[in-house]
Amino acid sequence: MATKTIHNITEGYRQGKKRLAVLVDPDTPDSNALQTIIKKANEAEADFIFLGGSLLVKDALDECIDAIKSMTNIPVILFPGSIMQISGKADAMLFISLISGRNPELLIGSHVIAAPYIRQAKLETLATGYILVDSGRQTTASYMSGSAPVPHNKPEIAACTAMAGEMLGQKLIYMDGGSGADNPISAKMIGAVRKSVDLPIIIGGGIRDAETAVKICKAGADIVVVGNASEENPDLIKTIAEAVHNVSKP
């Protein structure tokens, strides 16, 4: 199975590069909105397109990937909220284990069902330890997963969870406040996780400005994810991308 994407991410981490991923919902209302987001991602030299959501109401995943790939060469990585969100048209997928929860279906159950389809699609999988963090409100991710997020003020829980994920063989740690999060994950929590694992760290949820993105990168994030904010104001993509890339080591 291909390893191009995980090699890219890991090498970037080793070199101290900070990256931006633009999260796209396949349910994006119309093609004009999608075109605008991808255009801005191209202008900003975004590093990845993450595609997916906790709940999809339209069967438009393949169509969305085709549309994105017709507009950009940025790698498209699936961020699946369920086993229904699998497509061989993508460059890779985050093979997510919800290690912050205790729902066995999201730790291994759904993965067993999805594995043969992923193998048949020859889709590169990125083993990802996914940690939901309380963001001030219940998000779609926490509701749909039936799991309690890590409390916002408990960095030691996040650190131990990430540590266990690394020991289990995860290749990435993704800490997420969820779509529409009120608050971003604290620098203190990110720093605690950074000290606990030698893996690339992805941070998403509640990132609405360049200042927050820089703070998150300096705390230890390697990939910053913007989603809702970029849908509401696509110009933020370039602003945040420039800020994130400037944090990278020379």
Q: Where is the binding site for sn-glycerol 1-phosphate, in residues?
A: 174-180, 205-206, 227-228
The length of the chain is 250
- Residues 189-224: b if buried by 16+ CB within 10 A, e if exposed: bbbbbbebbebbbbbbbbbbbbebbbbbbebbbbbb
Q: Give yes or no for a contact between 123 and 93, defined as CB atoms under 8 angstroms apart.
A: yes
Cα gap 141→132, rounded to integer Å: 8
Residue 183: how many CB atoms within 10 A of its CB?
15
Give the residue ranges of the annotated binding site for Mg(2+): 25, 54
Residue 85 near residue 113, CB atoms below 8 Å: no
Candidates 128, 133, 153; CA nearest to 206 is 133
Note whether 129 and 168 are within 8 A (CB): yes
- Three-state DSSP at 192 gives helix
Binding positions are 25, 54, 174-180, 205-206, 227-228
Instruction: Return all residues near 118 (Cβ < 8 A) that are at least 6 apart.
Output: 86, 93, 95, 125
